Amino acid sequence: MKVFSGIQPTGSLHLGNYLGAIKQWIELQEEHDCLFCIVDLHALTSDYNPEELPESIVNKVAAYLAAGVNPQQSTIFVQSQVKEHAELAWLLSTVTPVGELERMTQYKKKSKKQKSVNAGLLNYPVLMAADILLYKSELVPVGEDQQQHLELTRTIARKFNNKFGNTFPEPEAKTTEQGARIMSLQEPTNKMSKSDGEESYVSLFDSPEEIKEKIMSAQTDSGREIKYDEKEKPGISNLINIYSLFSDKEVSQVEQEFNGGYQEFKKALAELVIQELEPFRQKKDELSKNQINEILEEGRKEAEQRAQDTMKEIKEKMGLPY
């Protein structure tokens, strides 16, 4: 199957990004044709620092590689280096209903945070549809928060196919049962998010001291019992979930293993996360900028070739000269 997924370069990669998206990529690349993208054009819709962006892109590629994405198996590239993404986004915007864009949860949430809302924020899901459809992708591994955008991508594909003839498959979202929604350490009823305060997420490259401090000060609920109950005990349930995902133990097993109260459990979780993330830190330090640039250049060539093939077909169908 053709698989596409992307992550924005700005901010830190956190446990939510890893457990929701990247961990799936590593499994999928064993058997499928995978493209993994740094979606830098998406990052422009929020406040960002142009001077820091190039470094953030290199850091994200290093993070992909350190977490186990293998450039021998997967194509890794930067969105803005394949200009067909922006071109296709424009073409797809002509079949996308504005009403659908306005009802997107992410748009509603993020537009509240901006004084003057930019059109890019509204059109974000059209660019995301272009990213996916440009490669005729069939499967998109994402966290739960992106499912609504995926549903809109399917609608856009359907509308295009109806108007111009069968061109795009309708891609499916792939979420994991447990990792799909990792919650904030400080407000466990909200998802873990890089745009919240640093104490609300663990970054993949936090130092052991930082990891320990963040987990020990994570919000928990009243009581002391280690019991999974999303409604009554969202804080401890989130931590149990993270423990279960990193240890490969069932939730019930984790509940049974810990009966000494929250502090003891948090300490064990901090140790586990530090231990599991240690190889990522080491591998990232070993990667050179040259290695990363070579991987990106290979990725760009491969993605560009495929993108041009699709654009040729689309333009012909739309009556545009190629």
Report, in Å, the least distance between residue 36 CB and ligand AQP: 11
Cα–Cα distance measured from residue 221 to residue 239, given in angstroms and rounded to the nearest whole number: 11
180 binds ligand AQP (CB under 6 A): yes
Cα–Cα distance measured from residue 238 to residue 185, given in angstroms and rounded to the nearest whole number: 8
Cα–Cα distance measured from residue 152 to residue 156, given in angstroms and rounded to the nearest whole number: 6
Q: Name the residue nearer to ligand AQP (CB basis): 126 or 311.
A: 126
Helix or strand holding residue 75 (H, E): strand 74-78
Indicate which single residue of 85, 154, 174, 181 sits in contact with ligand AQP (rule: CB under 6 A): 181
Q: Phi first, then psi: what are they for 152, rounded to 5°?
A: -70, -35
Indicate which single residue of 3, 4, 16, 314 sits in contact with ligand AQP (rule: CB under 6 A): 16
198 binds ligand AQP (CB under 6 A): no
Strand order in the sheet with 172-174: 74-78, 33-38, 2-7, 139-141, 172-174
Q: Which candidate, 248, 278, 301, 264, places its Cα nearest to that of 78?
A: 301
Residues 31, 141 contacting (CB under 8 angstroms):
no
182 binds ligand AQP (CB under 6 A): yes
CA torsion 11-12-16-18 (nearest 10°) is 130
60 binds ligand AQP (CB under 6 A): no
User: Which single residue brings its beta carbon nearest to ligand AQP?
Assistant: 20
192 binds ligand AQP (CB under 6 A): yes
Contact segment (CB under 6 A) with ligand AQP among 188-196, 265-273, 290-298, 301-309 equals: 188-196
Contact segment (CB under 6 A) with ligand AQP among 68-76, 114-122, 189-197, 249-257 equals: 189-197
69 binds ligand AQP (CB under 6 A): no
**What residues from 104 to 143 belong to the interface with ligand AQP (CB under 6 A)?**
142-143
**What residues from 233 to 292 belong to the interface with ligand AQP (CB under 6 A)?**
none
Q: How is residue 86 written in tokens?
A: 């922006």
Cβ neighbours, 10 Å, residue 58: 17
Tell me which residues are annotated as active site: 110, 191, 194
Q: Which residues are near ligand AQP by CB under 6 A?
A: 7-8, 16-17, 20-21, 142-143, 145-146, 180-182, 191-195
